[in-house]
């Protein structure tokens, strides 16, 4: 036995041990003082940087409604769709879960199984799942399956009016049409939530650091469009283009006394629900407002109106038309069968669509020849009266302004301006064409075109759109009356040419007038395509006063004859019949 063992005092060891424990505890106290008191601010900041999260609360995007037989019906709505995801950590039975999910969502269970076995906490199983499917899945109470809401635009009317509506891309931004032009109004203002959250980002109960700013939802838009008219326009346009063997075209119906757009369409078009499947991006754009073309002969009523308004000619003026003008090195000739050199009246210029007549009118503005005075006077009418070369301000994305040549800068200005008299060398959109004609036949008021009749804010406040006058006295009232009368006569005289296959006769109880145009397609790189012609038609229908102005464009029709008369005018005819039959055109009293 070791004698030293006897000296071991267990009590001393116990006391020593306890002293050691007290010592450790006091180290803990010092450490706690350092961490909790001295470094408190540092750790508080670190805590908040993790815990305090800022969220954007999305505002609900405004819906879009339009007229249909006197009531407003939805055109664009929002729908909640769901992204279904798996948190593989919580899935109890992958085989069973994947089978059950595939029963409801479709797809192969094996594929879902792979997704559920991923080494992640967030594995997307399906996107754009409907509310019904989501509720069915929820009913199964599967562990580890979660949902995330996404809001999607839906279109109860299918692809009707899709180009003027535009679409909302996956980032929630409006593209093309109204969605782009009024993106901010529709989007509203997102709210803000600053909150202490759990690790998953779910805000915890109220906390002094929490800040909440409620979102302001977007306004609802009520369109001036009548859906029935829009549908018929789209149908008639499509048939008309097919009849003319044209691949594309468009038409717009305008209220000439307010600038309200009643219908507007292009063909081909697309389904906004499936915008992501579109391969030819050109179908997105509303060519009526975004694709300028050479104005062509539809310019002639405007040229005559400008000459009459300036008083350089009058209603009864006649002149000798030589059938050709030599201006500088160039010649102005007529393309249509004009019957050669003869004495012509003002009405003949429109009825026979005389290029030489239109040039003669511009010459009169310069006192008998095309000079700077003529150019400036004519340019003034084009830009300041008819608003060519300027965006109209319609609520559409990618609106184009068209171009008007400068009257003072450049070479060959005289021949250029001789050509603008009959719409060559100057471009505009079909909408601009329709609006300019509207202002000339409605007594001389140019209204700003609009598509939104009423804005309804989320609080229920309505804001009605009032017609905006861009310019009064575009032409004098008497000039307006004359042009209207001449256009009616032009239409009546040329009716048979437009409608050789139809037994329809002009409807004598209404006033219908118009003017054809055949113009070269403008090359985006400058100049014109020499082999592509567009047919246009601008006209009106009404009783004692014009009720609807129609502007039509048919791109590159492949039928014999002049594009304006053979391709665009028949569409105009059908549209006027449609408007008279279905949309209450008042017959004339006088």
Please report, as ranges, the residues that interact with another protein according to CB under 8 A. 1-2, 4-5, 8, 10-11, 13-15, 17-18, 21-22, 24-25, 27-29, 31-33, 35-37, 39-40, 42-44, 46-47, 50-51, 90, 143-144, 196-200, 202, 204-205, 207
Pairing of strands 546-555, 528-542: antiparallel
Residue with Cβ nearer another protein (71 or 92): 92
Both tokens of 252, joined, read 């717009």
Q: Are 45 and 52 in contact (CB under 8 A)?
A: no
With respect to another protein, which residue has the nearer C-beta, 8 or 71?
Answer: 8
Cβ atoms of residues 118 and 88 within 8 Å:
yes
Q: Which three-class secondary structure state does DSSP give residue 537?
A: strand
Q: Rounded CA gap, 338 and 344, in Å? A: 10
Q: Tell me the closest approach of the beta carbon of residue 83 to another protein, in angstroms.
A: 19
C-beta closer to another protein: residue 13 or 131: 13
Q: Which residues on neighbouring strands pair with residue 450, listed in sequence order?
A: 260
Among residues 87 and 235, whose Cβ is nearest to another protein? 87
CB of 196 to another protein, least distance (A): 6
CB of 202 to another protein, least distance (A): 8
The secondary element (H helix, E strand) that includes residue 365 is helix 355-365
Of 15 and 99, the one with the shorter C-beta distance to another protein is 15
The least distance separating another protein from the CB of residue 268, rounded to whole angstroms, comes to: 51
Strand partners, 549: 254, 540
Residue length, the chain? 590
Residue 270 sits at φ, ψ, to 5 deg, of: -150, 165
Beta carbon nearer to another protein, 90 or 122: 90
First to last CA, the chain: 143
Q: How far is the CB of 73 from another protein (least distance, A)?
A: 43
Q: At a CB cut-off of 8 Å and minimum separation 6, what does 227 contact? A: 66, 67, 68, 73, 75, 157, 160, 161
Q: Helix/strand/coil (H, E, C) string of 253-282?
A: EECCCCCEEEEEEEECCCCHHHHHHCCCHH
Q: Which is nearer to another protein, 14 or 469 (CB)?
A: 14
- Cβ proximity of 408 and 376 under 8 Å: yes
CB of 127 to another protein, least distance (A): 23
In the complex, minimum distance from the CB of residue 119 to another protein, in angstroms, rounded to a whole number: 15
Q: How far is the CB of 150 from another protein (least distance, A)?
A: 23
Q: And the tokens for 415?
A: 């021949």
Query: From the DSSP assignment, how many helices (H) and strands (E) are in the chain?
Result: 19, 25
Q: How far is the CB of 210 from another protein (least distance, A)?
A: 12
Decide whether 200 or 531 has the Cβ nearer to another protein. 200
Residue among 200 and 501 whose Cβ is closer to another protein: 200
Residue 35 or 213: the one with the smaller Cβ distance to another protein is 35
Residue 29 or 589 with smaller CB distance to another protein? 29
Phi, psi of 287 (to 5 degrees): -60, -30
Q: SS3 letters for 298-361? A: HHHHHHHHHHHHHCCCCCCCEEEECCEEEECCEEEECCCCCCCCEEEEHHHHHHCCCHHHHHHH
562 close to 534: Cβ distance less than 8 angstroms? no
What's the min distance (Å) between Cβ of 197 and another protein? Answer: 8
Provide the 8-state DSSP code for 486: H
- Residue 249: CB minimum distance to another protein, A: 59
* DSSP one-letter code for 389: T
């Amino acid at each position: 036995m070791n004698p030293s063992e006897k000296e071991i005092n267990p009590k001393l060891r116990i006391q020593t041990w306890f002293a050691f424990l007290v010592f450790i505890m006091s180290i803990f106290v010092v450490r706690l003082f350092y961490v909790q008191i001295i470094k408190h601010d540092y750790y508080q900041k670190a805590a908040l940087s993790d815990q305090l999260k800022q969220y954007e609360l999305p505002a609900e995007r405004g819906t879009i409604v339009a007229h249909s037989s006197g009531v407003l019906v939805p055109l664009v709505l929002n729908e909640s769709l769901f992204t279904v995801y798996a948190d593989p950590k919580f899935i109890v039975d992958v085989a069973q879960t994947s089978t059950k999910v595939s029963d409801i969502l479709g797809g192969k269970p094996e594929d879902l199984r792979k997704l559920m076995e991923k080494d992640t906490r967030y594995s997307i199983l399906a996107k754009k799942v409907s509310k019904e499917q989501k509720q069915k899945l929820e009913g199964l109470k599967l562990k580890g399956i979660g949902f995330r809401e996404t809001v999607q635009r839906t279109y109860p009317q299918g692809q009707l009016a899709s180009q003027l509506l535009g679409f909302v891309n996956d980032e929630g931004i409006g593209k093309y049409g109204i969605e782009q032009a009024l993106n901010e109004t529709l989007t509203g203002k997102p709210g803000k939530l600053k909150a202490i959250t759990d690790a998953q980002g779910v805000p915890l109960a109220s906390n002094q650091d929490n800040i909440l700013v409620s979102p302001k939802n977007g306004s609802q838009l009520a369109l001036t469009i009548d859906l029935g008219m829009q549908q018929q326009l789209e149908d008639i346009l499509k048939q008309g283009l097919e009849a003319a063997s044209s691949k594309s075209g468009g038409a717009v119906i305008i209220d000439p006394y307010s600038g309200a757009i009643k219908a507007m369409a292009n063909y081909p078009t697309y389904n906004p629900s499936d915008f992501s499947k579109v391969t030819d991006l050109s179908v997105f754009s509303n060519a009526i407002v975004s694709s300028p073309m050479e104005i062509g002969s539809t310019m002639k009523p405007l040229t005559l109106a400008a000459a009459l308004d300036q008083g350089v000619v009058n209603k009864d003026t006649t002149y000798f038309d030589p059938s050709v003008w030599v201006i500088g090195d160039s010649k102005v000739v007529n393309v249509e069968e004009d019957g050669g050199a003869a004495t012509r009246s003002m009405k003949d210029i429109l009825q026979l669509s005389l290029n030489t007549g239109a040039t003669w009118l511009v010459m009169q503005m310069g006192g008998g020849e095309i000079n700077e005075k003529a150019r400036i006077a004519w340019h003034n009418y084009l830009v300041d009266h008819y608003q060519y070369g300027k965006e109209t301000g319609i609520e559409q994305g990618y609106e184009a302004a068209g171009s008007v040549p400068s009257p003072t800068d450049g070479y060959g200005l005289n021949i250029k301006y001789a050509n603008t008299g009959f719409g060559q060398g100057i471009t505009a959109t079909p909408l601009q064409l329709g609006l300019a004609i509207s202002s000339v036949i409605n007594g001389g008021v140019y209204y700003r075109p609009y598509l939104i009749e009423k804005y309804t804010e989320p609080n229920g406040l309505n804001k009605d759109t009032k017609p905006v006058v861009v310019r009064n006295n575009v032409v004098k009232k008497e000039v307006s009356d004359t042009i209207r009368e001449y256009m009616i006569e032009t239409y009546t005289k040329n009716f048979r040419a437009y409608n050789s296959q139809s037994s329809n006769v002009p409807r004598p109880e209404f006033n219908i007038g118009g003017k054809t145009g055949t113009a070269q397609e403008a090359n985006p790189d400058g100049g014109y395509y020499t082999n592509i012609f567009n047919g246009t038609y601008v006209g009106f229908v009404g009783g004692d006063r014009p009720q609807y102005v129609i502007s039509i464009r048919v791109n590159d029709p492949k039928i014999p004859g002049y594009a304006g008369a053979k391709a665009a005018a028949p569409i105009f005819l059908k549209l006027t019949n449609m408007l008279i039959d279905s949309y209450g055109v008042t017959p004339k009293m006088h």
